[in-house]
Amino acid sequence: MRGRSFQIFSMLALVLMLGACTNKDKGGVVGDGSLGAEDRVQVSDGIDRSGLGGVTPGTQQDLVVNVGDRVFFGYDQFDLTPEARGTVERQAQWMKTHQNVTVIVEGHCDERGTREYNLALGEKRAMAVRNYLIANGVAPNRVQTISYGKERPVILGSDNTSWAQNRRGVLVVQ
């Protein structure tokens, strides 16, 4: 139970950290799915500033709380599991509701493998999510991808639990 609480806390901390800064290319692959394209991304903090309390619709916080911002992959895999497809379908519906929202899909890997291999695998994971969003009715120009490979683990550790949490695709509202 304690380990699960730590994981949840770590994931919330990551979301808050991502929302608090400008995200620039730091060695990852950025673009619309083509390797080598570069772009800069302003990450929305998703914090409700309306004074009304609750979650502001169309923000990162709204996505995390009401839909889920990430899917997980098996070891050395980039295909979407049935559970992941369900999450991406909900994300696509959320994006159809919030027509002004654009996103970047981040592809991440665990620490095993070379930097180059994991950048390529992270790109395949991000593209799998992007392609499924598009197949579910999201306009292609609203979805970019970036691969961070193994460079941005959400949980530090060299065990199956840590590795499973780090093999992920994350939707980030721009």
pLDDT tens digits, one per residue of 3-41: 555 555 554 444 444 444 433 333 443 333 333 333 333
Average pLDDT score over the chain: 80
The answer, as to whether pTM is greater than 0.85, is no
pLDDT tens digits, one per residue of 86-123: 999 999 999 999 999 999 999 999 999 999 999 999 99
List, edge to edge, every strand of the sheet that includes 143-149.
29-31, 143-149, 103-108, 168-173, 70-72
pLDDT of residue 85: 98
Quick one: tokens of 109? Answer: 């890997």
Q: Is the pLDDT of residue 42 over 50?
A: no
pLDDT of residue 49: 45
Count other C-beta atoms under 10 Å from residue 3's C-beta: 8
CATH number, domain containing residue 7? 3.30.1330.60
Number of domains in the chain: 1
Which residue range forms the structural domain that includes residue 126? Answer: 2-173
Rounded to whole angstroms, the Cα distance separating 109 from 75 reads 9
Q: Residue 111 phi/psi, 5° resolution?
A: -75, -10
**How much is the average pLDDT of 59-80?**
97
